[in-house]
Structure 1
Amino acid sequence: MDSIVETDPKKAILIKGARLHNLKNIDVSIPRNQLVVITGMSGSGKSTLAFDTLYAEGQRRYVESLSSYARQFLGKLDKPKVDYIRGIAPAIAIEQKINSTNPRSTVGTSTEIYDYLKLLYARIGKTYSPISGNEVVKHRVSDVVDYVLSQEKDRRFLLLAPITISDDRDIQKSLDLLSKQGYARIKHKGEVLRIGPEMTDIGRSFDLVVDRVVVKKEDEDFINRLAGAIDTAFFEGKGTCLIEEADGDQRIAFSNKFELDGLVFPEPNVHLFSFSNPYGACPKCEGYGDVIGIDEDLVIPNTERSVYDNAIAPWKGESMSVYRDDLVNNAYTFDFPIHKPWFELTPEQRNLVWEGNKHFTGLNAFFQKLEEKSYKIQNRVMLSRYRGKTRCNQCSGTRLRAEASYVKVGGKSITELVDMPIYKLAKFFDELELDPHRTEVSKRLLLEIRNRIRYLLKVGLSYLSLNRKSNSLSGGESQRINLATSLGSSLVGSMYILDEPSVGLHPRDSENLIEVLKALKALGNTVIVVEHDEEMMRAADRIIDIGPEAGTHGGEVVAQGTLSELLKSDSYTARYLSGAMEIPVPAKRRNGKGHITVLGARQHNLQNIDVTFPLQVLTVVTGVSGSGKSTLVNKILYPALQKKLGGYGQKAGHHKTLEGEFGFISHLEFVDQNPIGRSSRSNPVTYLKAYDDIRNLFASQKLSKLRGYKSKHFSFNVDGGRCEKCKGEGDITVEMQFMADVHLECDQCKGKRFKKEILEVQFHKASISDVLQMTVDEAISFFQDHKADKIASRLKPLQDVGLGYVALGQPSSTLSGGEAQRIKLASFLGKGQGREKALFIFDEPTTGLHFHDIRKLLDSFNALLGKGHSIIVIEHNIELIKSADHVIDLGPEGGDKGGQLLAFGTPEEVASNPDSITGRYLKQKLR
């Protein structure tokens, strides 16, 4: 099915003759202002069509529209291999990339909510003194005029300015100067005195009578004269003026200085709330929120212990125990629980240990003493032992100078708001009540803030806070934040292209995501989603199915149309959606041999839970986004088990202990979605160590022996055979001044990586470059045909995990997270039966996988389990969850509403548990 359905470019985006990568000269019609899903098996050409063809052409046309001056900095963007694309709209790509490396970038800044918050606080914020808690008010001339006019008609007042003559000036000369300026009287000790000679006995402080006021209503001349006199009184009184009744009974002070309780406060402005601006940033951490200082996790390494039981590591031992003894022996005087575990102490009690009091030296003062005597080697050693990246103690991680927290809206400072989870922030703004003036001033700002918060809730990010660093987010979270930001900006007539937005989302949250995409469509945008999620496909207005399989066996439009039209086709997608094909529920669940139990897990939002992981089975940890899955497995189980097995790694998150039968595990394999190699030369064939055999094969050819070529000549990592210009990269990197670097094909080797004479060496008419450009499927067939079975068998695991479409020499930087994960899995599968028993930990391995690919992945898992290994998977995909032997479900929600163990057991047991949200969706698949 490759005919264009709609041929009017005003109604559809028309792609004719797309043939980039594996696309086979296909024609596609994408209707405008619709939700369109592009699906198909991994490697079938979906992303090539959506991003490398459609989005790339949109970008190229944008660059072409710029001036010749701007284009010289951007480089030339190549036209995608396509006959034409018509009806294209301005393109916005939202990919699974953590696109910010700026350590100051936060969820608040990237969604623009923080920009609106800064404006809100600058315009309507009230400043309160930290000493008295009273509002700091700056009076204007109009405030004093309003006060006078509010008094009874004909009432008499004195307008006074407090005067203090400095010690270096003569009192009489100062009075004479006031007299020459036109002032006739002063008030001193309750008496009004006329300025005259020899008044030195009045001292250096008195009140200058600026004017005598008789209240008149609705008299324009009186009001103008009064305003002028008040302005003069503020000037003479250096910011202060007094209104006193003529009989001296009542006196009111007004100040046009922003001060109270002896403190001068900065007036609220946008820069005061900006941590990217030197004016507003915390002076200690410079707006980063953390510093190199004393790390609390190192000072209190075991939070299970109490202060009495030596929880505070630096206070152990004879020489330092005096500090601990002072606290323990005096604790009764200030009611401190010395026997309570550290993790159960209140924030106030922990803070007391750090700050200290008159009875004992706090930790801050203790380390300060060590700093002061750091000339002693033992003090320097102790300081280095407890130093690390830690939260700034001056701003407590808020990034702003202290004065910013004195400004409040609705009783909350901006620093309190950014630390709230999004769902609490939404409640705060829904319930916010302001006076009529502030309501009018902030109307537009509040509308933008509430809209953007609502979109964050809809894309399943209610558990994040605005202060969360952008570079700490997962790819899926980052993508959904970009999606929420796009919704907030309300663009119209654009083309949004999304790369699997459902990644990292529980099925419950996917429903909300679909609503968000429909809202984006309703604004008048074309929404194109590269996706495998079943619910997303069922919600789409149109589905374009690319296939039939992957790599050279893909690249065709096998079906396109509505869901009902798609189901009439015979594609893999249609067969799985119709039920003709399915991932079968295992006939029998495996029983575990041995177990590992994490006791008292309480890192981040985990609620002091005990979780048991059975071994030699497939265990899936699931739960809604932000429920604590990654914290439990990646931050506690993995590092704690690594240490138990004698390895080294990151510090385990807070938990009581790890128990279990460790004899069933000899080592750990953590299979995450990070790239398979840091070098741009890293690729699948080098990672699987198959390239060594391929190089040896080429070095054994006749021409190689005649010319003296060794195995190293066929390596692109060392000098010898590689192209000298691009150093074996195949392309040249051109550094751009204002944009990302551009990679251009090397004009010397034409992207082939090797010297011309090296390429003359061939194995059955294929050069080393030709072999690297083969897909895994092609290479296996090629080597088997020519009796190089050893190389073919090395590559076979890649085919088994569904990566037959990947080129042998494809740079690791171009592989998706899911592909990188499966290459690691293939490397483990290829290591043979002789390996000792391992525990494999996978983080969302179904990322980027079609139903048919998940089936292959499960076959790989079964192969590992068959060898006696154990597997723990963090996953949301119901197809994989239903195939597990044991399910651990966390929840019920994300953030501080999560972290509880809701259900555990076989998928059937979890499905029958009424508390499990995952169970509701699992029940539909277990039939």
Structure 2
Amino acid sequence: MSERKDKIILRGLKENNLKNIDLTLSKEKITVFTGLSGSGKSSVVFDTLATESRRQMTLNYPHYVRNQMPRYERPHADLMQNLSPVVVVEQRPIGGNSRSTVGTYMDINPLIRLLFSRIGKPSIGSATDFSSQSSFGGCPECGGFGEVIMPDLNKIIDFNQSLREYAVKFKPLSPSGWQGRWMMTGGLFDPDKPIKDYSKDELQLLLYGPPEGEKVYAPFHTKNGPQPHEWDGLLPRFTRLYINRDVSKLKEITQDDVLAVSTHSLCPTCLGSGLNPKVLDCKINGLNIAEYDQLELTDLLDELMNIKDPMGKSVARQAIPPIVQLVEMGLGYLSLSRKMGTLSGGEAQRVKIARHLGSSLNNLTYIFDEPSAGLHPEEVDMVIHMMKKIKAQHNTVIVIEHDLSVIKAADEIIEMGPGAGANGGEVVYQGKLAGLKDSKAATNLNHKLRINKKPRKIEGYFTLKNACNNNLKKISVDLPKNVLVSICGVSGSGKSSLMFGAFTEKYPETIMVGQGSIGISNRSTLATYMGIMDEVRSIFSKATGQPAGLFSFNSLGACAICKGKGVLTPDVAFADPVTVPCEACGGTRYSDESLSYRYQDKNIVEILDLTIDEAMSYFTMPKIIKRVNTLKDVGLGYLTLGQTTSSLSGGEIQRLKLASHLQKEGQIYLLDEPSLGLHAKDNGKLLEVFQTLVNRGNSVIIIEHNLDFIAASDWVIELGPGGGKQGGHILFEGTPEEMVKSETLTAKWLKDGVTEQFFT
């Protein structure tokens, strides 16, 4: 009998650490994949199912179109049948430049511009004229940027230094660039005199150039001898080359580099909208397009519903559904002008989800990567409701998740494991919720919270006074030193504004471990990231008398055929890309010569194949032992030294970043949702790391929704009560035990999760 078409058939899966497994997934159901971090969940869902679906979708296009599209390699599997098109909502931060806003990301802005061009009074030309990036619509003062940017003299120049000593701190104008060298050799300035010792005229010439109407030339040395070159002053030159020019086209500098040495203030002409005053005169029911942009989405909905003009009504009808989606996801407090880069992890995740919910297509497979990430327990219900809604429209929902309430909402649960890395890659359990508790699965549905009843004694505080970053309402707060502090509250309540804004401004020495990804390439390994590869190579070099470069696959030791990649990707024109293990080195990346040398009976590849746990007993060098130990401390003992950082899961990357900072003591550690991507069983390991850090004299502050971490803290601060304008207040400060007796939103969930005997 042939397999039914209402099931997705996956057979012989071998991608990454998968152990030749078979899976059958039901369509039009919610299936949750769970298991320890690194157990193989992503390998099944993303690297196999999603990749194969996307690969097959591109086969429907003609060759010349496919060549312009991303090209996917066929995953390592024997059989993949009955797949449907996939919509993937990942955790990765939303890219985009500094102009990317909620309105542009959701494609609502073009509709609002069209609306104003149709019914705004007084009437203005086309929809594009309402864009700050058009020649007509852009503000003439700030070029559509919304801010006036000026060079900040004290950030650009260190007056105590001479030109040769890098007095100019902006790299392209310093001695490392041609302009800086020209300033030293042109004869106009003494390159060895501190700037503070320049006469008034010398300083004027250096900073602002010659008096108006005059020109000054200095010889610039080229291959053809010295050529006269006009000197226009440091600040005019900076403004001309780096402010009034598209910096993205320059190789040596980024927009952030320019902003770091500038002051930016709201443009007085357009009041930050970036729009021409004529555009701002055009209104609908008394509001111009900039005011539409600033409205909270709930208010914007009311405005759009109030439009009576038939032409305007038809445009408004198209803009309303995506806004309704955002409001239903609990984001009604955002505005269209809110920059995507300023959203918290939970907010960005929900904006992504809302973007995909507008589709009326069905029979799709929606894949969500931890949709509860960054959400308060109160908000997770919205995600569950949203997933059920998608399922009801005859779609399949596949979720990678650790949150118990999401797991409990699944039609079917698949737990991967039993361990992580090489110890994972098997199906530990597949079935209904009821069968999970009698299985060997690590997921414990009866998980109870353990409230910290013996918090550490507080000896001192970090104090913040009248913090008003973003939505903070001039709040003052004392954060205890040398204890474990949790900052909680619904998403958008001001946690990041308080800690990554106000706190780090006052305490810049804080070590921040955020959610951003690490620079990952397939040549970056655990050993290189932790800075021990140089030591490993030098040990080999000393033991063998060979150059250290011979033990690097990025240098002398690289296999000549694959150039140290370990694989070959032959260009097969129009066909799908193929990655073939290099036959010359067998995928090891190293040349035969480098593999012929040994240290303590192992060659370099065998050493890189050691797990962190094994490396502890193999090496004796203190620096290596110390750093390897920090990886063990954060629960990554199962990974190998040579594992590429590009193959790590989100939870593993977060712990790797933490490990790279653990070598210091007497520090302030600030972590943004360290529980992200961790199974409840891994939480205990990470909590031990934090407790050890605090015991060694460090202060550890975590922004967290996870109730296990909040319950185990010494001190808890909750912000709220809502998100956006409704947030920014301190609701609670105290111990977890005191919190259980309070009436805040987090306290409600804490009460739900504690053991019964706590109240007896």
TM-score (norm 1): 0.66
Shift of 1:71: 3.3
Q: Determine the C-alpha separation between the residues in 2 that align with 1:785 and 1:411.
A: 74
Q: Is the 8 A contact 1:669 1:838 kept in 2?
A: yes
Q: Which residue of 1 aligns with 2:677?
A: 848
Structure 2, unpaired ranges of 5+: 156-207, 215-231, 240-257, 756-760
Q: Residue 119 and residue 612 in structure 1: after superposition, are their counterparts in 2 closer, same or farther (change >3 A)?
A: same
From 585, 590, 607, the equivalent of 1:754 is 590
The aligned residue for residue 515 of structure 1 is: 385
Distance 1:75 1:781 in 2: 39
- Deviation, 1:761, is 2.7
Cα deviations by residue, 1:21-65 (Å, 9 ceiling, x for unpaired): 111111112211122211110000001110001001011112222
- Alignment match of 1:608 (pick from 474, 488, 495): 474
- Offset at residue 475 of structure 1 (A): 4.9
Question: Aligned in 2, Cα 1:75/1:108: closer, same or farther, shift over 3 Å?
Answer: closer
CA distance in 2, matches of 1:408, 1:715: 65
Letter of the structure 2 residue corresponding to residue 17 of structure 1:
G
Match of 1:292 in 2: 149
Q: CA deviation at 1:84?
A: 0.9
**Distance of aligned partners of 1:522 and 1:584 in 2 relative to their CA distance in 1, 3 Å threshold:** same
Give the alignment partner of residue 721 of structure 1, picking from 536, 554, 557.
557
Give the residue type in structure 2 aligned to 1:482: K
Distance in 2 (CA, whole Å) between partners of 1:391 and 1:693 is 51
Of 558, 563, 575, the match for 2:428? 558
- Contact preservation (8 Å) 2:559, 2:591: yes
2:468 aligned with 1:626: no
**Per-residue deviation, residues 433-467 of structure 1 (Å, max 9, x unmatched):** 243xx2x4344543432321121123333333211
User: In structure 2, which of residues 405, 421, 431 is the aligned counterpart of residue 535 of structure 1?
Assistant: 405
CA positional deviation for 1:844: 0.9
User: Shift of residue 427 of structure 1?
Assistant: 4.1
Cα distance in 2 for partners of 1:683, 1:25 equals 25
1:888 Cα offset (Å):
0.5
- Which amino acid counterpart does residue 708 of structure 2 have in structure 1? E
Q: Is the 8 A contact 1:801 1:822 kept in 2?
A: yes
In the alignment, the residues of structure 2 paired with residue 511 and residue 100 of structure 1 have an alpha-carbon distance, to the nearest angstrom, of: 27
Amino acid at match of 1:713: L
Tell me what 2:365 maps to.
495
Residue 885 of structure 1 pairs with residue 714 of structure 2: yes
Amino acid at match of 2:714: D
Matched, 1:525 2:405: no
Which range is displaced more, 276-285 or 63-72?
276-285
Kept in 2, the 8 Å contact 1:597–1:610? The answer is yes
Alignment partners' CA distance in 1, 2:120 and 2:473: 37
Aligned to 1:406: 281
Partner of 1:548: 418
Give the deviation of 1:681 after TM superposition: 3.9
Q: Does 1:69 align with 2:64?
A: yes
1:422/1:388 CA distance change after superposition, 3 Å: same
Q: Is the CA contact (8 Å cut-off) linking 1:276 and 1:287 kept in structure 2? A: yes
Q: Select 1:926's aligned residue among 733, 754, 759.
A: 754
Q: 2:19 aligns with which of 24, 34, 37?
A: 24
Change (3 A) 1:379 1:472: closer
1:669–1:841 CA contact under 8 A, matched in 2:
yes
Per-residue Cα deviation, 1:55-110 (whole angstroms, up to 9, x for no partner) = 01011112222222233445753211111111100012111223433443321121
- Residue 597 of structure 1 aligns to a residue in which SS? strand
Cα shift at 1:494: 1.0
Q: Match of 1:467?
A: 337
- Aligned equivalent of 1:230: none
Match of 1:416 among 291, 300, 304: 291
Distance 1:32 1:856 in 2: 36
Alpha carbons 2:347, 2:492 under 8 Å: kept: no
Contact conserved, 1:292 with 1:389, CA < 8 A, in 2? yes
Contact 2:124 2:282 in 1 (8 A): no
Q: Does 1:88 align with 2:64?
A: no
Cα distance between partner residues in 2 of 1:742 and 1:477: 38
Number of aligned residue pairs: 666
Q: CA deviation at 1:793?
A: 6.0
Residue among 101, 104, 113 paired with 1:106: 101
1:837 to 644, 659, 666: 666
Provide the identity percentage.
38
- The offset of 1:632, in angstroms, is 0.9
Whole-Å separation in 1 of the counterparts to 2:235 and 2:11: 73
Shift in CA distance, 621/726, structure 1 to aligned 2, threshold 3 Å: farther
User: C-alpha separation between the residues in 2 aligned to 1:465 and 1:443?
Assistant: 21
How far has the Cα of 1:734 moved from its partner? Answer: 10
SS of equivalent to 1:882: helix
How far the C-alpha of 1:826 sits from its partner, in A, is: 2.3
User: Would you say the 8 A contact 1:546–1:557 is kept in 2?
Assistant: yes
Tell me which of 724, 736, 742 is aligned to 1:907: 736
Task: Trace 1:740-819 onto structure 2 (pairs within 5 A).
Answer: 751-762=587-598, 766-776=602-612, 780-781=613-614, 784=617, 794-819=627-652
| Aligned position for 2:45 | 50
SS of 1:859 mapped into structure 2: helix
1:744–1:626 Cα change, 3 Å: farther
Give the direction of change, closer, same or farther, for the CA distance of 1:65–1:747 in structure 2 (3 Å limit).
Answer: farther
Paired with 1:428 and 1:372, the residues of 2 have a C-alpha distance of 54
Measure how far apart 1:127 and its partner are. 0.7
Contact 1:463 1:895 in 2 (8 A): yes
Letter of the 2:431 partner, please give it.
Answer: G
Q: Does 2:88 match 1:97?
A: no
Q: How far apart, in 2, do the equivalents of 1:909 and 1:711 lie? A: 58
Paired residue type of 1:801: V
Q: Which residue number in structure 1 is paired with residue 176 of structure 2?
A: none
For the residue of structure 2 that corresponds to 1:606, the secondary structure is coil
**Matches for 1:51-200 after TM superposition, within 5 Å:** 51-74=46-69, 77-123=72-118, 125-128=119-122
**Residues 675 and 815, structure 1, Cα contact 8 Å, conserved in 2:** no
Given that 1:889 and 1:903 are in contact with CA atoms closer than 8 Å, whether structure 2 keeps it comes out as yes
Contact kept, 8 Å, 1:56 with 1:80, in 2: the verdict is yes
- In structure 2, the residue matched to 1:669 is 511
**Structure 2 residue 662 is matched with structure 1 residue 826:** no
User: Is 621-630 or 91-100 further displaced after alignment?
Assistant: 91-100
Task: State the distance in 1 between where 2:343 and 2:566 align.
Answer: 33
Change in Cα spacing, 1:757 to 1:618, as seen in structure 2 (3 Å) is same
Moved more, 14-23 or 378-387: 378-387
Amino acid at match of 2:7: A
Give the Å deviation of 1:585.
3.0
Tell whether the 8 Å contact from 2:566 to 2:582 is kept in structure 1 after alignment.
yes
Aligned Cα root-mean-square deviation (Å)? 3.7
Structure with higher Rg: it is: 1
Question: Structure 1 residues 922, 584: closer, same or farther in 2, change over 3 A?
Answer: closer
Q: Which ranges in structure 1 are unaligned for 5 or more consecutive residues?
A: 1-5, 129-264, 299-368, 643-666
Query: Cα deviation per residue 1:112-157 (whole Å; 9 max; x = unaligned)?
Result: 222322232233x2314xxxxxxxxxxxxxxxxxxxxxxxxxxxxx
Pick which of 754-763 and 600-609 moved more: 754-763
Q: Which amino acid aligns with 2:130?
A: F
Q: Distance in 2 between matches of 1:81 and 1:283?
A: 56
Q: Deviations along 1:829-880, whole A, 9 cap, x unmatched?
A: 4x3xxx5411111111111011011110001111111112111111111111
Q: Distance in 2 between matches of 1:424 and 1:297?
A: 43
Whole-Å Cα distance in 2 between the matches of residues 732 and 104 of structure 1? Answer: 39
**Corresponding letter in the other structure for 1:857:** L
Q: Secondary structure at the match of 2:10?
A: strand
Preserved CA contact (<8 Å) 2:363 2:395: yes
